[in-house]
Amino acid sequence: MTLFSEPSHELEALGAEQREKSSDLVFSRTCDSFPSALAELLLEKQFCIVQIPRETTEVRRSVAEELVKLGACWESELPGFEADTMGRSPGGKKVSWLQPRETWSPGLAAAEQVLEGLSSAILSMTPKLGFRGSERTTIMAHAPCTTEEEAVFSEGLAVDASEIQDRIAFGKHRKVCIIYFVSGGGGYLILHQADEQDDVVIPCEEGQAILFRHDLLDYTWRPEKQSSKNNANHNINNSRQLALQVWILRDPFQGETSLQARDASPDAIGALQHVPAGPLYGDSNETVDVLSLAVRDPGQANQPEDYWSVLSSGCDGMILVPLCRWDHDLYWSETGENGKGYIRHFGMLMDDQMAMFDNEFFGMSATEATHTDPPQRNCMEVGYDCLHRAGWTR
């Protein structure tokens, strides 16, 4: 079979935007060179258009009806996090995260096999793409919604702190997005590049999958606008346009929390259920926005990056108590002598962390700095660092 089809690159009447017209590859589960060809295109232009064989057209078009039978729960994403999954301009669209099932109906089973095949091809090439990945998310159904549905979605959702943490982690872990247009064509998928480069505009065609580096590109899905002359037909036509999406995730760094709700592995979900419950305030709906962070901790942690290194490496910050703190001969006894301590290692700041203070920077005389308690000096330094990191420079 022919694996490659020549892509068309031309500028059309979309300002300075670049419009992609044809597919780059034809999806194949058996061609050994498909994964490497896919990776090469993602490296070269950060996206790829894959044509899915036409013999499954009727099966694909049944997916929308099958979702209705399954009772798919359509909703909007959490306010503030819509762009992470729905792209820019999420209005007028709805999503539904499909829970993993042992058996799917025919249309969903065929679509899941396509997404699994594309995901496996990418996962086998993640070192070539510059990251390590071993999992993908569950499937997210993405479709236009009616005005009435959008009004219901705007009423808001009740979420807990763990869900917020999960959404934040997702934005950091996502690497490659796969959008499979299973039914209904029309409209455009716009890929937004960094550094104010021209957008790439890709017409949405039924039976095509678009893969792109979601860590490097952002996107907007603009479904085809139906005629408003017949509102009933408008709703029916919109309901037939459906995309299924998954994301390839990078592996967590050492000490980093992995995703929970979007973790596609049932084993991982089961393992999470055995983790001891956290404090009650961690499951409340009350949140605190952390705009800046500064630290001065044992282990030579003088900035947040140092603090993260201490945690990820398992450092305990224990040091031999410096002689300038106390004389070991007077206050420590290896045999546990009465009136003396039996340990001489503590998690404490090093001498330079306590003593290196720029009194002139804070407008203090040397005498005043000498008579200022070391914790107070540290508080001034760390407080200034925290404000400076938040952008307060005056």
DSSP run (H or E) holding 48: strand 47-51
| pLDDT confidence bin for 84, thresholds 50/70/90 | very high
- pLDDT tens for residues 202-234? 999 988 999 999 999 999 999 986 544 444 444
Q: Are residues 271 and 373 in the same domain?
A: no
Q: Are residues 140 and 204 in the same domain?
A: yes
Q: Are residues 193 and 323 in the same domain?
A: no
Q: Are residues 81 and 205 in the same domain?
A: yes
One-letter amino acid of 242: L
Distances (CA, A) of 242 to 39, 47, 65: 26, 20, 11
- pLDDT tens for residues 127-176? 999 999 989 999 999 999 888 887 777 665 666 666 777 888 888 899 99
Residue-wise burial string across 167-187, b where 16 or more C-beta atoms lie within 10 A, e elsewhere: bebbeebbbbbbbbbbbbebb
In the prediction, which pLDDT does 178 show? Answer: 98
In the prediction, which pLDDT does 289 show? Answer: 79
SS3 at position 179? strand
| pLDDT confidence bin for 14, thresholds 50/70/90 | very low
* All residues at 6 or more sequence positions from 334 whose CB lies less than 8 Å from its CB, including other chains: 342
Structure tokens at 46: 């950060």
136 lies in a domain?
A: yes
| pLDDT confidence bin for 20, thresholds 50/70/90 | low
Phi and psi at 184, nearest 5°, equal 80, 130
Q: How many CA atoms lie within 13 A of 130 on its CB side?
A: 9
| pLDDT confidence bin for 191, thresholds 50/70/90 | very high
d(CA 202, CA 206): 12
Q: Which is more confident, 48 or 2?
A: 48
- pLDDT tens for residues 179-189? 999 988 889 99
Structure tokens at 94: 């709805």
Q: Are residues 170 and 246 in the same domain?
A: yes
289 lies in a domain?
A: no
288 lies in a domain?
A: no
- How many distinct structural domains can be found in the chain? 2
Highest mean pLDDT among 56-70, 294-308, 320-334: 294-308
Q: Are residues 18 and 157 in the same domain?
A: yes
Which CATH number do you get for residue 31? Answer: 2.60.120.620
Q: Are residues 239 and 378 in the same domain?
A: no
One-letter amino acid of 266: P
1 lies in a domain?
A: no
226 lies in a domain?
A: yes
Q: Are residues 89 and 145 in the same domain?
A: yes
* All residues at 6 or more sequence positions from 66 whose CB lies less than 8 Å from its CB, including other chains: 105, 106, 107, 108
Residue-wise burial string across 58-67, b where 16 or more C-beta atoms lie within 10 A, e elsewhere: ebbbbbbebb
185 lies in a domain?
A: yes
Domain of residue 341: give its range: 304-389
291 lies in a domain?
A: no
Query: Which has the closest alpha carbon to 211: 20, 75, 381?
Result: 20
| pLDDT confidence bin for 33, thresholds 50/70/90 | very high
| pLDDT confidence bin for 16, thresholds 50/70/90 | very low
**Mind giving me the DSSP string for 343-388?**
--EEE---HHHHH---TTTTT--HHHHHTS-HHHHHHHHHHHHHHH
259 lies in a domain?
A: yes
Comparing 23-32, 72-81, 171-180, 244-253, which segment has the lowest mean pLDDT? 72-81
Distances (CA, A) of 90 to 17, 43, 246: 21, 28, 17
Q: Are residues 237 and 114 in the same domain?
A: yes
Q: Are residues 211 and 331 in the same domain?
A: no
d(CA 348, CA 252): 30
- pLDDT tens for residues 319-348? 888 888 888 888 888 887 888 888 888 888
- 31, 33, 34, 38 alpha-carbon torsion, rounded to 10°: 180
Contact indicator for 241, 206 with CB cutoff of 8 Å: no
Say which residue the tokens 């808001």 belong to. 156
**Mind giving me the DSSP string for 243-306?**
EEEEEEEPPPPTTPPPPSTT---HHHHHHHTTSPP--GGGGSS-----------BTTTB-SHHH
Beta bridge partners of 248: 136, 176
In the prediction, which pLDDT does 270 show? Answer: 57
Q: Are residues 239 and 135 in the same domain?
A: yes
